[in-house]
């Protein structure tokens, strides 16, 4: 009934096209697709400003001065930006201490940043490192 009233008042163009249009716009801008969910007596939309990145392309675009370990760290962070130091250590195949050393070097080069705390935070590869073709 609300949608019908909005339609008759020319507040909306047509029924059921909003979600499709939002997804299309997000795809055009290269950002992560929003999450849509029903909550309580309403509807929730979570929009992201994270760019979608082709992982292989991103790793290829990092500076040549990075070590293979540093490139691997970036690759695994792109796959899961909430990855822990323990998981990185296992996947990259080096000690947690070496992971920390490499992460600190990536931070010093302004290629990597930690958002939030250690438990609930996430890694952020800085935009100028990642270029889409």
Judging by beta carbons within 10 Å of its beta carbon (0-12, 13-18, 19+), is residue 124 exposed, middle or buried? Answer: middle
- pLDDT tens for 72-103 read 999 899 889 999 999 999 999 999 999 999 99
Identify the CATH number of the domain defined by range 55-129.
Answer: 1.10.10.10
More confident residue, 127 or 89: 89
10: its two tokens: 């020319």
- HSE (CB half, 13 Å, CA atoms) of 79? 13
For 19-28, the CB contacts below 8 A with 24+ separation are 22/47
- pLDDT tens for 21-52 read 888 888 877 778 888 888 888 878 888 776 66
Where do you find CATH 1.10.10.10 in the chain?
A: 55-129
Q: pTM of the prediction?
A: 0.51
């Amino acid at each position: 009934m609300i949608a019908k009233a909005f339609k008759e008042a020319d507040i909306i163009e047509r029924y059921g096209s909003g979600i499709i249009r939002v997804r299309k716009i997000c795809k055009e801008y290269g950002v992560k697709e929003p999450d849509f969910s029903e909550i309580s007596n309403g509807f929730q939309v979570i929009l992201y400003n994270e760019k979608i990145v082709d992982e292989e392309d991103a790793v290829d675009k990092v500076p040549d001065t990075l070590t293979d370990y540093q490139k691997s760290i970036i690759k695994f962070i792109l796959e899961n930006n909430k990855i822990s130091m323990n998981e990185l250590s296992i996947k990259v195949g080096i000690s947690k201490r070496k992971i920390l050393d490499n992460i600190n070097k990536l931070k010093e080069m302004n290629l990597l940043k930690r958002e939030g705390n250690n438990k609930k935070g996430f890694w952020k590869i800085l935009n100028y490192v990642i270029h889409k073709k």
